Chain A
Amino acid sequence: MWKSSRLGWRGNSSTSDRWSGVDGGAAARSGMNQKKTTSAHIEFIDIAKTYDGGTMVLPGVNLAIGSGEFMTLLGPSGSGKTTCLMILAGFEMPTSGEIRVNGESVHKLPPRKRDMGMVFQNYALFPHMTVGRNLSFPLEVRGMAPGERARRVGRALEIVRLEGYGDRRPGQLSGGQQQRVAIARALVFEPGVVLMDEPLGALDRRLREELQLEIRSIQRELGVTMVYVTHDQQEAMTLSDRIAVFNEGRIQQAAAPETLYEEPATEFVARFVGDNNLLRGTVRAVDGELCSVAVGDGLVEAFMVEPLAVGDSTVLAIRPERVALSPSIEYSNSVAAGVEDMVFQGDHWRIRVSVFGESDFFVKIPNFIGQGGILPGDRVRIGWTTIDCRALPASG
């Protein structure tokens, strides 16, 4: 149905296949299923950045992003994730270190030669151009023939479901539509990498969720390497193949969302990703990957994320939904707790209990179980398995 030889402008037929001039939107979308081959893999090697020569914004980042991977840089504001993105895009120079794309250093390349599409937080659409001209801009500066330009712009608009909007001005579109145009513009020249800097930050929740899914599916279909910056861990979870969690300029952990959730490597990750109960204690005994930790007046069995020695301080992380009320015998940890407070959350109950002298320990109970006739002030037993209780090295 498509003829790659007619369409390829890079002289790379496999690239052109992704954009081949298919008539009809549905067919076009299915045509996207072609896995791409030109997406790039990226390496951050000891990237350090300081603005004043003293304070290190990035003390030394190492990160590898695979070809076609959706990598999210997640962290609170000021954690260095945006600086990383800007260094990758070429808008800022690292103080030291090196960025490699497909194994080659891009250190000396200006942004325009890095072949990276970028989507900015406030869209950065050019207000004096129509949507169509915005999209054709990157093609024009590459000297593409008008016919081919029009075809690609049309395709890009189809991808973001804005067919027929080509003649509008950005100012005439809603925020969501503008962001779709921005995404289309970052994709239309088929860059090896697409960078997005908090692209959904200005949108309301519903639109954000809708666009998240859309970005996800476009990236999957095109197979382009994506580096996405956000401070919203929910968004990161939804979108990413892998997430690099940033704090104070350092990558705390870079892993798939499930891994981050199930196996947080640091106290920061445990706290930042998902809901978690954190208990401070001291290692009393070590047995292979397991250890006993004294917390308050109790003793807890836990799984060690990295080797700890007897006497070390540690932080235990236990997900609220992994804590059982009135635990059965297979739960290795079982302690008495006092119910402080309970909140109905629709799909679950969130119960605050006091345990080991701490009063902000949460337990999540699925709604179908009901709250089991528990009332604030009751004494209950709670428990969890050893594998769900992770002993992390205490930070600071």
Chain B
Amino acid sequence: MPARKPHSVLQSRRWLGLGLWLLGAAAAGQTLTLVSYGGSYGRAVEQAWVEPFMAETGIEVRMEDYNGGLAQIRAQVETGNVFWDVVDLTTPDAVRACDEGLLEFVMLADLPAAADGTPASEDFLPDSRSECSGGGLVSATIVAFNHQQFPDTPPSRLEDFFDLERFPGRRGMRRVPIANLEFALLADGVPIDAVYATLDTDAGVARAFAKLDTIKDEIVFWEAGAQPPQMLADEEVVMTTAYNGRIFNAQVLENQPFTIIWDGQLQETSGPGIVLGTPRLEIARRFIEFMSRPESLAAISKYISYSPTRHSANAMVDSHRETGIAMSPHMPSAPANMKRALISDWLWWADNGDEMNERFAVWLSR
């Protein structure tokens, strides 16, 4: 009997160890995985949302990068092996993912009200989110140019992007139909409010491709958001379509001689959604709640020129954290920038995206 005593002590210690280990494992399970686009935008997300969220809740957040698209989310949901919790999505992607049952619903009622008590349902910009998205940001696909290349008469209108005679040189363009078809029609004289109605007809689509044909030989295509500023800096192109935030960051952080043409830009929204079936649903909802607060959305604008999708947050937009520049004039939502802005019709793209992509691929290969 006396010989057994130390043994049982040892055994109880072993159980204690196992218990601690299990606790640790459970705590590790509380790490939230947030997937976003990386680059300068990813850093903004980290500083404006992730760090304050961790400070407030003590919940660990791990960030991952991706290039958009729904393939990985679909694969995770279909195999029942969900390891992404919250994913930053463009609104068209979010709408599709929500329709296809890849995301959890996010109820407006669950999102925080504005400081003055305005409920979220009235505070959000119309059509700025899917039924599965948290609060989000407005960005714009714009045309930017390197103004050193045009010392005398710089381009000033969207039409100039398609004018090779007055503004010779190569053009950068994202290798997708979205934005490019709209730009082509706008430059061809279609009024802002008739763009999608025109695209709804075969003749309208043909008209857009015909306009793209006029600059086809001068186009250099890009895929990742970080490419266009690089292409401008390398003088690989003289003008390019780009996300306004990326160009802004190159302007203020790297002093690049870039100018944005605020004319006919395509305004899009994005916001994070929760992958359906995540075992960390509760902390994922807490994160969505946190980042949907007006002050959280406004905080992003300290780092990059994307404006919040909430009225109350827009009022809080301040200055750039690093350079002190006032951010309002650089926002896609700034009145001066909005004179001729086209709001992306994500519903049209959800219905016609596949077909347009196919026709775009055909056009590319010709």
Per the CB under 8 Å rule, do A and B touch in the complex? no
**CB within 8 Å of A: which residues of B?**
none
**CB within 8 Å of B: which residues of A?**
none
